[in-house]
């Protein structure tokens, strides 16, 4: 049980770290992003880039959870739920800054992408185990 809780916490920390590093990269590489960020007046391309970063962070978080607690099939679901619970109030505060499709895309994909990351991780490990077993 403790391992499962630690996996969820590590997944959450991983999500934050990945989104932070990728956001720094956006600031450094996407013209106008740093200037748009304080007011959150992002162009369509910037909004899509932010959603991509969130998606990569969610997938990575799922991979982390599965790596730490491979048998806890519910852990990625819990982590995704925690992410939704954390971000609903944030998006409520930002409601006027972004279009509806942006909020929905971000919030609705948190759980499935976290679970997908965990699934990808377990699939890869399963293939490696079969290869070792068969040889």
Whole-structure pTM value: 0.88
User: What tokens does 110 get?
Assistant: 């948190």
Would you give the DSSP letter of residue 135?
Answer: -
CA distance 92 to 122: 34
User: Cβ contacts of residue 21 below 8 Å, gap of 6+?
Assistant: none
Give the model's confidence band at 132: pLDDT under 50 very low, under 70 low, under 90 confident, else very high: very low
Domain range annotation of the chain: 2-134
CA 106/CA 18 separation, integer angstroms: 16
C-alpha to C-alpha distance for 92 and 34, rounded to whole angstroms = 23
Say what the pLDDT of residue 121 is: 78
Q: Can you tell me the distance from the alpha carbon of 29 to that of 111, in angstroms, rounded to the nearest whole number? A: 29
Closest CA to 34 of 45, 44, 23: 23
CA 96, chain centre distance (Å) = 23
Q: Identify whether the C-beta of residue 104 lies closer than 8 Å to the C-beta of residue 98.
A: no
Q: Are 82 and 8 in contact (CB under 8 A)?
A: yes
pLDDT band at 125 (very low <50, low <70, confident <90, very high): low
Report the pLDDT averaged over residues 126-135.
Answer: 41
Instruction: List Cβ neighbours of 84 (8 Å cut-off, separation of 6 or more).
Output: 107, 110, 111
Residue pLDDT, tens place only, 84-95: 999 999 999 999
For the cut 90, the answer to whether the pLDDT of residue 130 exceeds it is no
Question: What digits encode the pLDDT tens for the residues 56-112?
Answer: 999 999 999 999 999 999 999 999 999 999 999 999 999 999 999 999 999 999 999
Per-residue pLDDT at 122 exceeds 70: no
Percent of the chain with pLDDT over 70: 90
């Amino acid at each position: 049980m403790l391992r499962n809780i630690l996996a969820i916490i590590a997944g959450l920390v991983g999500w934050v770290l990945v989104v932070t590093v990728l956001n720094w990269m956006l600031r450094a590489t996407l013209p106008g992003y740093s200037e748009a960020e304080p007011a959150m007046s992002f162009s369509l391309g910037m909004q899509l880039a932010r959603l991509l970063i969130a998606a990569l962070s969610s997938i990575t978080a799922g991979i982390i959870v599965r790596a730490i607690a491979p048998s806890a099939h519910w852990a990625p679901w819990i982590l995704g739920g925690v992410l939704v619970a954390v971000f609903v109030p944030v998006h409520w505060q930002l409601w006027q800054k972004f279009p509806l499709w942006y909020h929905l895309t971000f919030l609705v994909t948190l759980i499935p992408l976290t679970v997908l990351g965990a699934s990808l991780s377990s699939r890869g490990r399963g293939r490696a185990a079969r290869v070792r077993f068969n040889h």
